[in-house]
Amino acid sequence: MQISFRFISSQLSIYQTRTKPIQTRAREHHRATLSKHTAATVPNMSRAYTLSKFGIALLVMLAFPSLGSASPIRLMKRAGGAVRNDAVEGGACKALMLIHARGTTEMSNMGMGVGIPFAAALEKLTADVGIQGVNDYDASVAGAITGGSKTGAEFMAKTAADVMQKCPKTKVILSGYSQGGQVLHLATDMMSPKVADKITAVVLFGDAKGKTTPVPRIPADKVLSMCNAGDNICENPMLPMITMAHLTYGTGVDEAAAFVKRKAGI
């Protein structure tokens, strides 16, 4: 299979998310950086590459343009304050705590495409919810190719355990988008049986581990894996190709929030 760079560019140009200002700025940033950085990254734009490891890496970099050129701190500031650290910062115990792992090269510790809209959907259901993005996780292309960030997974697993210890009545929800799904799989595999048993629900968006891959230690009835038709990342992760179907999960967050509501009994 061959993939042209022109095709990827065209898919990105029609990528649409909800019209919240923060998401609009993120989309404009992607478009601007695509034209600015792609020529330096890929000198021969007319050339097509097969899906070797190099091709996959290049494809991901094109789909999420060169955000690595800026420091994580600057990227978080650009995201307009879209950093959520409710679990880390402490405070009163909540009825729910969402711990979310963003997709490759997404800005902030939540990501604007899925994490922020999903958090907002949960906050519409109840004000008694804490939101925590996964820290210690650079969401890099290299991490995606090697199966997900282990440091991000360690943060997710430890944070879930810490919340349960501090707030025994809080129901912990895990979610991940794209590479964030890989991180989530690694995290639950690191958990003790006691912690894993207390996870209330898991939501995966475009899971890079594949839509049929079980989440370690978590019963299937606690898991919602959303995989859009035509999203090759979750439909066929052995031959990953990023299409618009992989970039539109922000429109499905209400369904995901409804699943959490049922599982949490709120």
pLDDT digits (tens, 9 = 90+) for 157-173: 999 999 999 999 999 99
Side chain identity, residue 58: L
Total-model pTM: 0.74
Q: Cα 196 to the chain's mean position, in Å?
A: 20
The active-site residue out of 30, 100, 185, 246 is: 246
CATH number belonging to domain 70-264? 3.40.50.1820
In whole angstroms, give the CA distance from residue 128 to residue 123: 8
Segment 25-29 mean pLDDT: 48
pLDDT at residue 28 greater than cutoff 80:
no
List the one residue out of 178, 226, 179, 167 whose CA is nearest residue 202.
226
Cα angle 234, 101, 258 (rounded to 5 degrees) comes to 75
The active-site residue out of 86, 149, 207, 231 is: 231
The 3-state secondary structure of 126-183 reads CCCEEEEECCCCCCCHHHHHCCCCHHHHHHHHHHHHHHHHHCCCCEEEEEEECHHHHH
**Mean pLDDT over all residues of the chain?**
79
The active-site residue out of 178, 185, 207, 225 is: 178
In whole angstroms, give the CA distance from residue 27 to residue 60: 16
Whether the CB-CB separation of 138 and 101 falls below 8 Å is answered with no
The yes-or-no answer on residue 207 being catalytic is no
- Give me the pLDDT at residue 254, please: 97
The yes-or-no answer on residue 246 being catalytic is yes
pLDDT digits (tens, 9 = 90+) for 211-264: 999 999 999 999 999 999 999 999 988 877 889 999 999 999 999 999 999 999
